Chain A
């Protein structure tokens, strides 16, 4: 029997299909827990501030710029401006639900009034003409009874301008 290697036909290559489902339960930590509790119970957006006056959302123990502890809590928003924005057309599976998000949808970096950093979130826009860097937006909260203590307690941001 010949053991010589035969020319390999790429079209006949075998592929093995597998699906891996992994489940996690992440500890949000005490900074995020305080933020999400205030968001859920009071509809407030909290940020941390350091001695130099840097105000950051998400709240965090240490400022990455100054290296100083962020020990002071301040309220920011719930309005702000877009630091970046897009309308997404490509189908994308929502990692929180496993279900494809309806397209098109608005998506952007929101800088809350009073904060120096931004967070990504959904926008209530579906056309490029509706959005723009520097445009004003406002958080639209889910009703209190639907809020669970996560960033999704903000349904989306409404274009104000």
Chain B
């Protein structure tokens, strides 16, 4: 079977932040209405729905049942996923597969999280293996802090270089009306002086807890041009997992084996040979400042160990050679079930030329990544050009 060439043709996001005014269904619907509304689409146009969140943040299981109405999924195939932090990207990948398989023409993907409703740190604890990991867990922050210590030992990256990432994210966020943390006057000094959460991670080195939702529509080649002037064509999708326990990867963060493996597969499919120059923009899933620097290395934007130099040179700033997270990234907005789909949606917006004030001029090709759980990676490559081959999945 030859797959169908597939594109993102519409995206929509809720306002992200502390949304005590909106229920889970309402915030999901806010993103969906904006997504469908932007193209004059209705639920009648949607063949299937893929939804994703992490249930323990709200403590509501079977959200797909409670949100059938909000998701417009009555009498339609509705698939609910949870792959941890990656879930938004996994849902986007699932949308891709449902269209590329030829089964459906238009599929709606929705990622959502009301992260302020429960205890984020307690919810993260339930991610840990109950026998081996929960007894001593210190939440996402303790996990990222130990990863950062390994990365510092490997690369010699400095707190100042990490702080530059934190500053870049919150300043970029000021150009994104959906972003949660918009800090126009933030400085490197302010990041370094912010409260130490877990050494070496300061409060401003870390992502916030946000409420929010994101929606996308993926469409088949036969109709994609009906919905978007410049569809964001899927040129590669790839997923890689690592081993099961937190301590299984010898140099976590410094060497993110799953991200290296997923990007390697995706680059091969999309014909990317020089990622530093072959991409015009990237939306990387960076829950901490140090993570973004490590991802630069692991996705091949620079040699291993040179992540700090890339931010020092300003390459990844919004006006740099290869802007990373012009949306403000995860450091500015983290409704975890939506977060990885926001990466896909923002990358698609850049390719479609519809990113608004944070649009990078002349984007042809964009990279989006999702990160979750222990060390799982989703990768999607989107392009303005129709792919030469429809074989884009690994």
B256 to chain A, nearest CB (A): 13
- Given A28-B131, A119-B245, is A92 in contact with B142 using a C-beta cutoff of 8 Å? yes
**Complex contact A87–B153 (CB within 8 A):** no
**Complex contact A93–B198 (CB within 8 A):** no
**Complex contact A134–B153 (CB within 8 A):** yes
B245 to chain A, nearest CB (A): 6
CB neighbours (8 Å) of B349 from chain A are none
A85 to chain B, nearest CB (A): 5
**Complex contact B130–A89 (CB within 8 A):** no
Asked if A160 is at the interface of the complex by the 8 Å CB criterion, the answer is: no
Q: Which residue of B lies closest to A27 (CB)?
A: B131
From B59, B122, B146, A86 is in contact (CB under 8 Å) with B146
Asked if B170 is at the interface of the complex by the 8 Å CB criterion, the answer is: no
**Complex contact A84–B138 (CB within 8 A):** no
- Chain B positions 163 through 207: 1 when the CB is less than 8 Å from some CB of chain A, otherwise 0: 000000000000000000000000000000001111111000000
Asked if A151 is at the interface of the complex by the 8 Å CB criterion, the answer is: yes
Distance between Cα atoms of A117 and B200 in the complex (Å): 23
Asked if B6 is at the interface of the complex by the 8 Å CB criterion, the answer is: no
> When A and B form their complex, what is the total count of cross-chain residue pairs whose Cβ atoms lie within 8 Å?
131
**Complex contact B59–A84 (CB within 8 A):** no
CB neighbours (8 Å) of B138 from chain A are 86, 88, 92, 107
Q: Which residue of A lies closest to B144 (CB)?
A: A86
From A15, A89, A111, A133, B153 is in contact (CB under 8 Å) with A133
Q: How many residues of A contact B (CB 8 A)?
A: 49
Q: Which interface residue of B132, B141, B243, B244 has the most chain A CB atoms within 10 A?
A: B132
CB neighbours (8 Å) of B200 from chain A are 86, 128
Q: Which residue of B lies closest to A25 (CB)?
A: B130
State which of B70-78, B247-255, B307-315 sits at the interface with chain A: B247-255
- Chain A positions 34 through 50: 1 when the CB is less than 8 Å from some CB of chain B, otherwise 0: 00000000000000000
CB neighbours (8 Å) of B152 from chain A are 133
B308 to chain A, nearest CB (A): 17
B19 to chain A, nearest CB (A): 8
**Complex contact B20–A13 (CB within 8 A):** yes
A134 to chain B, nearest CB (A): 7
Asked if B275 is at the interface of the complex by the 8 Å CB criterion, the answer is: no
**Complex contact B149–A133 (CB within 8 A):** yes
**Complex contact A152–B153 (CB within 8 A):** no
From A56, A65, A86, B199 is in contact (CB under 8 Å) with A86
**Complex contact B199–A151 (CB within 8 A):** no
A122 to chain B, nearest CB (A): 6
**Complex contact A15–B20 (CB within 8 A):** yes
Q: List 8 A-B contacts (CB under 8 A).
A: A32-B131, A64-B242, A85-B146, A86-B149, A92-B139, A118-B248, A121-B136, A152-B136
Q: Spell out A's residues near B (CB within 8 Å).
A: 8, 10, 13, 15, 18, 20, 24, 26, 28-29, 32, 56-58, 60, 64-65, 83-90, 92-93, 95-96, 107-111, 116-122, 128, 131-134, 150-152
